[in-house]
Structure 1
C-alpha cells in the first residue's frame, strides 16, 4: 500500500466517511520518544500500515477525531474552520534526529515535512519533545518550523525527566517558543484531549497559529544557519532549566549495569531469544492447528454440505473447498503466530529492552555489516520466516530492513525440519542427527555469506557505522496501545499478503485438478496426469545435474514453494502411498525415494539426497513469506529475491551432489 492509499478520501480504516479537505497532521519526533504510542492513542482502530511511494519505509496513517469539545475550542467566530477539523488525517512519520537526511527513513520524513511527498503539504506538525532530552528534540523542532510548517508541541516523558532531576514548566516553554506546548503521556492517554484542543485551535487560527518563535536570521533547515539554530536551542534549554544535573543515577541506570554488562547481559539476551523462539514454535503451534482445524474441518464440512444440498458439481466443490477455503485456512492459521510475534516485539520495544538487546548483540552482527538490532529478525526466523520479516520493522533504516528481509528466508524454519528428518533417516540412518545439524550450520553460513556478498554489491551504500543508541527509560507496556498496534499490523497482513496466498493456492488447485492426459474428469485426476504433474515433469530435467531430476521430486519442490511442511505429503501423494505419521519412520515412502534417487543420481542416492536437502534449505521458504516480502518491500525486490534463491539453491545442490559423487 502506498501513501496514495492513506485515508484521505472515501472510507478510512474506522469505517466513517472522511472529507476530501480533512486537514493533514503529521507526528514528528526522535526515535523512542513515544510517537507510535501517541498515534495509537489518538487513532484507536482507525489506522493503516502504509509505505511511502517508491520506498520500503513503513508509515502509519489513520483518522483522528478530536471530538466536539475540541471543535468548539476555536470559538464562535471560527465555527466553519472548527467543523472542518472534527476529523484529521494523521500520519506517524519515521523517527528522525534531523531533517538533514542521512537515511531513507529520515529522507521520507524530510520530504513529507517539506510538502514534497505524495501526501501533499501537511497543515500542521505535532512535534514530540522529550522533556529529559530537550536539546535533541528542540533541534528537530526548529528544523520543522524552518520549513514553514505550523507546529504544536507535545511534551512527553515528564515523569522520566523528573527521575533525572529535570523539571520542565510547559507554560514557560510555551511562552519561550510562542506555540502551544501540551504535556502528554501517550501510554496512559493523559493529555490527549488537551492536545486535540490545541491542534484544533491552531488550525482554526489560520496562518498566524502555531508559528515558532525562531531567531531572525534567514535560512532553512539545510542552510548556513545551523549554528544559529544550535544557539537558539541552547538558549531555550537554559531559559527553562532543561539541562539535567550531573551525577544523578536513575533506576534505569542501575538495571542497565546488569543488562548491558559484557558478561551478565549475554545470558539475559539468550534467555529472551529462547523465549521468542519458544513463542514462535511451541506456543503458536497449538493455536495455528486449532485455527486450521476450524477452517479445514468445521467450515469445510459446512461448505461441503451446503454445496451438496444444491447439487453443485464436484469440480466446483473442489475449487471452493480445496482451493479457496484451503487458502483462507492457510492465511488464518498464521494469524495467531503473527499476532503473538507482533505483540512480543512490541512489548520488548515498549518496555525499553529492545534497544539494550541491540547493544549486547552488536558485536556479533558486525560480521555481516549490520548492527545489533538485526539480531531479532534472524532469531525469530529460525522459528518462522514470516514473523521474522515483520520483526524487521524494529530496524531504524529502510535499507537495513531490506537487507535483513532478503536474508531472513535462509534461516531454517521448523517446516523444513520435517524434510530433513525424512531424507536423513532414509539415506543417512547412522548419522541422521549430524546431517540435520549440518543443515542448520549451512543456514547460518548462507545468512553470513549472503550478507557479505550483498554488502559489497547491491548494498554498497549501507555505511558501516558505529551503533549509537538513545536508550529509553524502562517503562511498563500499555495493553491498549499494544493491542491497537498489533491489530493494525495483523490486519495489514490479512488484507495484503493474505490475498496473494489465497489466489496462488487457488491456482495450484486448478493446476492439480485439470487433466492433460487420459480420460480423467476435472478435479479427479492423478497427479502425474494433471497440469501440475506435467509442469513438474517439465521442470525435472533442470534438476538432473543435482541428482534428483525425477518428476516426483520436482513436484514435491513445486508444492514446497507453497509451504515446506507439505513436501513430505506431496512426495507421498506423487507415489500414491500413505504419508508417514513420523518422518523418521519412512516406511513405503522411504523405499520409493531410495529407489527413485538411486536411478536419477546414477547410483549416488546419498549425494542426491544431500543435494535435495540443501535445495530445500536455500530455495523460497513458503508462499506466505513471499507475500509478506511483497507487502513490505514491493514486487521488484521480492521477485528478484525469489529468483536469486532459486539460482543459489540450484548451484549449491549441484555443487553438493558433485562433491558427494567425488567423495
Structure 2
C-alpha cells in the first residue's frame, strides 16, 4: 500500500502557488527566530497581533520566484494555552486568526532536548496541519553524545526531518527543498492517535489523525488527556536516539557553578546590570549629544541657508522647520545609537546563553510584583533611560509580563530627571541635597513595587502566577555580525515606529511657544511670557494649588517636561528670564538667580511652606510621563488606547502623590 505522507515525492518537480503562508512553531530558545531571520532577512515586519499585545513577526521569502509569507510565532511548550502568547499560537493553528492561517507548519525541534520538543510535536499532530520538521541544536546534541537519527525520525513521523543550524545557515537548502515539497504534497505527522505501524519505504501506511479540531477549545479538549502523547514521545525518543546520559562535565556545567551560585552569581548579575546602566548613561550620552548637536548645528545651518535662498529667512515658516520639525528629528536621531547599543548588548547576552541565567537569578525578587526574573533587565535599564528599557520588553516571552513591565518602566527614575532633582534639592535643601536625591530614587523603587502589586491584580493572567520555566541553553560564542544586524533592524523599527510621533508632538510644542496671545508679536518671534504656552500654563497652574506650587512658571516647566525631563531646568530659566545654573552643580543651583526666584514663588504659593511644595514638585516630576519619546515607544508597543490610559493614570498618580507630599509636609 502506498504511503504519500511518508514519501512526499521529488522536490524538483514541486511547484508553489497562491502565495502560501509558512508558520514556524517551537519551544523558546530553539533557534526559531534565528531561522526566521535567515529566511526573511530584511523583508520583515514586527507588530502586535490583531487585538492583542502579542508580538508577531512576519516576513517575505522567495522560493523559485514564488512569494512565501513566513510567520515567527511566540515560543511555546504546549498547545494547552495558559498565557496570551500560547493562546495566540493555538489560535493560529486552529483557524482563530484567519488572515494568518498557515499552509504549512515548520516545527523547529531541539535535538539536545528532544523529549520536550516531541511533546509539542505530538500535540501539533492533533491540530492537523501539514508539517515539516527542522531539527536544530544538532551540534550541541552531538557534543553531548546525544545525536539524533534524522532519517529514522523522518520514517517514524512520516514527514521530512531536516538537520539545520540557523546560526551559520547549514541545512537551509535542504529545508527549502522540504518546504517546497511540503507545500505541494501536504505531509502529515503520524502522531499519538495514529494506528500502530511502521511507516518506512515499502511498508504499510499508517492512518493519520481524524478530522482536525476546528477551534482552540476543541483542541484543548482533545489534548486534556496527555497519556497517549507521553507514550508516543517515549517510543519515538527510544527509536531515534537523543538525550543519552552524559557523563563528562561540559563547559556550560563548569560556568554555571559560578554564574548560578547564590553569591558569586548575584555578584556577576549586578555587574552585568551595572554595565547596562552605564551604557544608557555615561557611554551613550556623548554619542546622543553629538548626534543632536550635528542636527542642531551643521544641518540646521544648511537648512537656514536654504530658507534664506528661497526668501523664507526670518519667517515663521523657517522657525517651524528649524525649531519644530528639524529639532524633533534631532531628538529622534539622537535616540537611534542608544537603541542600537542597548539592543546589541541584550542580544549578545541572549545569544551567549547568559540571559536565561540572569532571569533565573532574579526570579524570586521579581515574583513579589507579579513578574518573573526576565523583567529585571528592562526595569534596571529604565533607571538609565526609559526608551530603550521599553524596547527591551520585547524580549519577554509572556505578553502579560511585557504589558505590565512596559507600564512600570515610566516609574523608574531615568537619568534625565537627575538634573531637576539637583536643582530643586540644592535650592531648597542645600544642607541635605544628597539625601533628597537619594530619596527620589528610593521613592522610584517603591512606586515600581506598588505599581507592580496593583497591576498584578488588574492583569489577572493565569500564567503570571506560574513558576518560571526556563531552558538553560549551552553557552555559545555570540555571532557579532548577526547580533549587529538584528540590533540595527530593531533600532530602525524604533525610528520608523516612534519617530513620527516624536516629531509631531515636538512640532505641536513649538506651536504653543510660537503663537502670541496679545497680538503684539509675530508668530515664531514671541517672548515666552506672551506665548500660548505661557497662557496655558497660567490656566493650568491652579490645578497644583493643593500641591503648593500654584505658579505658572512651575506648570510651564512641567509642560515642557513632556518633551524631555532635562528641559525642565531650561524652561524654568527661560520663564524667569535668568541664566541657567551650571549642570549637576549643587553649589551653583543654590546661589543662582533662578534658585532665589523659585524660593520666593514657592514660599508665596505654599503659604510659607516652600520646602514642602518643592518636595511635592519633585514627586510630580518623578511620577508623571517621562518624555515624548517614552510615549511614542509605549504607543508602538501597546497601542494608542493603552498608552492613553497609562498617560492619564500617570498624571493622576503624580498629582495625588504631589498633593499628599505637600499636605503631609506642611503639617510637619
Q: Same fold (TM over 0.5)?
A: yes
1:90 equivalent in alignment to 2:67? no
Residue in structure 1 matched with residue 438 of structure 2 by the alignment: 437
2:189 corresponds to which of 194, 197, 212: 212
What's 1:548 paired with?
Answer: 549
Partner residue of 2:627?
622
Q: Tell me what 1:264 maps to.
A: 264
Does structure 2 retain, via aligned residues, the 8 Å contact 1:328–1:502? Answer: yes
The reply on whether 1:612 has 2:617 as its aligned counterpart is: yes
Conservation of the 8 A alpha-carbon contact between 1:49 and 1:488: no
Q: For each residue in 1:500-523, what CA deviation from the matched residue of structure 2 results, as whole angstroms up to 9, or x when unmatched?
A: 111111111111111111411111
Correspondence for 2:658: 653
* 1:390 corresponds to 2:391: yes
2:123 is aligned with 1:143:
yes
Are the counterparts in 2 of residues 385 and 411 from structure 1 also a CA contact under 8 Å?
Answer: yes
Post-superposition Cα deviations, 1:78-97, rounded to whole Å, max 9, x if no partner, equal xxxxx5xx321111100001
Query: Is the 8 Å Cα contact of residues 259 and 265 (structure 2) preserved in structure 1?
Result: yes
Equivalent-residue separation in structure 1 for 2:72 and 2:359 (angstroms): 24
Give the number of aligned pairs: 625
CA positional deviation for 1:370: 1.7
Match of 1:185 in 2: 165
Asked if the contact 1:151/1:210 (under 8 Å) is kept, the reply is yes
Return the alpha-carbon distance in structure 2 between the equivalents of residues 448 and 385 of structure 1: 17
Once the two structures are TM-superposed, the CA of residue 233 in structure 1 deviates from its matched residue by 1.8
- Structure 1 residues 470 and 583, CA gap change in structure 2 (3 angstroms): closer
> Partner residue of 2:5?
none
Does the aligned pair in 2 maintain the 1:513–1:531 contact within 8 Å?
A: yes
- 1:212-250 deviations in whole A, cap 9, x for unaligned? 222246475430663222222221111111242154532
CA contact (8 A) 2:83 2:461 kept: no
Give the CA deviation at 1:172: 1.5
Cα pair 2:401 2:464 within 8 Å, conserved: no
The Cα shift of 1:487 comes to: 2.3
Once residues 293 and 17 of structure 2 are traced to their aligned partners in structure 1, the CA distance between those partners, rounded to angstroms, is 44
Indicate yes or no: 2:489 matched with 1:488: yes
Q: Paired residue for 2:89?
A: 109
Alignment-derived partner of residue 195 in structure 1 = 175
Could you report, residue by residue, the CA deviation over 1:286-316 in whole angstroms, capped at 9, with x for unpaired residues? 1111111111111111101100111115100
From 144, 149, 160, the equivalent of 1:169 is 149
Match of 1:226 in 2: 226
The separation in 1 between residues aligned to 2:98 and 2:525, in whole angstroms, is 51
**Greater mean deviation of Cα atoms: 491-500 or 406-415:** 491-500
C-alpha displacement of 1:461:
4.7
Is the aligned partner of 1:632 residue 2:612?
A: no
Q: Distance in 1 between the 2:255 and 2:568 partners?
A: 47
The alignment partner of 1:349 has SS state of: helix
| Contact 2:32–2:108, Cα closer than 8 Å, also in 1 | yes
Q: Give runs of aligned pairs for residues 205-354 of structure 1, distance below 5 A.
A: 205=184, 208-214=185-191, 215-216=194-195, 218=210, 221-222=219-220, 223=222, 226-245=226-245, 247-312=247-312, 314-354=315-355
**Cα distance in 1, alignment partners of residues 443 and 613 from structure 2:** 17
Deviation at 1:381, TM superposition (A): 0.5
Q: 1:615 and 1:462 mapped to 2: Cα distance? A: 34
Offset of residue 456 of structure 1: 2.4
For 2:143 and 2:513, the matched residues in 1 are separated by 65
3-state DSSP of counterpart to 1:213:
coil
1:563 aligns to 2:564 (yes or no): yes
Q: 2:51 maps to which residue?
A: 54
- Cα distance in 1 for partners of 2:242, 2:251 equals 20
Instruction: Quote how far apart the aligned CAs of 1:394 are.
Output: 2.3
**Whole-Å separation in 1 of the counterparts to 2:563 and 2:430:** 29
CA contact (8 A) 2:82 2:462 kept: no
- Cα distance in 2, alignment partners of residues 511 and 354 from structure 1: 45
Alpha-carbon deviations, 1:138-187, whole Å to 9, x = none? 22223223222111111100111122220112112111111111111111
The TM-score, its normalising length taken from structure 1, stands at 0.92
> 2: CA distance between counterparts of 1:175 and 1:647?
63
Q: How does 1:580-595 map to 2 (within 5 A)?
A: 580-584=581-585, 585-586=588-589, 587-595=592-600
- Matched residues in 1 for 2:462 and 2:144: separation? 39
Q: Residue 311 of structure 2 aligns to a residue in which SS?
A: coil
Deviates more, 1:518-527 or 1:426-435: 518-527
* Contact 1:165/1:248 (<8 A) preserved: no
TM-score w.r.t. length of structure 2: 0.91
Q: What do the CA deviations read for 1:114-160 (whole angstroms, capped 9, x no partner)?
A: 23215332111111011011111122223223222111111100111
Does residue 137 of structure 2 align to residue 132 of structure 1?
Answer: no
Q: Is the Cα–Cα contact under 8 Å of residues 163 and 250 in structure 1 kept in the other structure? A: no
**Which range is displaced more, 589-598 or 462-471?**
462-471
Q: Distance in 2 between matches of 1:339 and 1:20?
A: 38
* Distance in 1 separating the partners of 2:408 and 2:251: 38
For structure 2, list consecutive stretches of 5 or more residues without a partner in the other structure: 1-15, 196-208, 214-218
Residues 1:630 and 1:271: Cα distance change in structure 2 (over 3 Å): same
| Alpha-carbon contact 2:417-2:566 (below 8 Å) kept | yes
Q: Secondary structure at the match of 2:71?
A: strand
Over the residues paired in the alignment, what is the CA RMSD in angstroms?
1.7
Measured after TM superposition, the shift of residue 458 of structure 1 is: 4.1
The aligned counterpart of 2:456 is 455
- For residues 368-447 of structure 1, what are the structure 2 equivalents within 5 Å? 368-447=369-448
Asked if 2 retains the 8 angstrom alpha-carbon contact of 1:112 and 1:119, the reply is no
Q: Which runs of 5+ in 1 are unaligned?
A: 1-18, 72-82
Match of 2:199 in 1: none
Flag the 1:38–1:462 CA change in 2: closer, same or farther, 3 A.
Answer: closer
Q: Distance in 2 between matches of 1:549 and 1:230?
A: 68
The CA deviation string for residues 561-614 of structure 1, in whole angstroms up to 9 with x for no partner, is 111010000111111122223353131111111111111111111111111111
How far 1:531 moved relative to its partner? Answer: 1.3
Q: 1:597-635 CA deviation, whole Å, 9 max, x = no partner?
A: 111111111111111111100001111111111110111
CA offsets 1:425-482 (integer angstroms, 9 cap, x no match): 1110000000000000000000001111222234465642222211111111112321
Task: Tell me: CA distance 1:140–1:390, structure 2 relative to 1, closer, same or farther (3 Å).
Answer: same
Structure 2: distance between partners of 1:491 and 1:108: 26
1:42 to 39, 45, 59: 39
Give the secondary structure class of the aligned counterpart of 1:383: coil
Matches within 5 A, 1:505-584: 505-584=506-585
Other structure's SS at 1:59 match: strand
SS of the residue aligned with 1:558? helix
Alpha-carbon distance in structure 2 between the residues aligned to 1:598 and 1:459: 46
**1:185–1:191 Cα contact (<8 Å) kept:** yes
Residues 97 and 136 of structure 1 are in contact (CA less than 8 Å); yes or no, is this contact kept in structure 2?
A: yes
Q: C-alpha separation between the residues in 1 aligned to 2:479 and 2:158?
A: 33
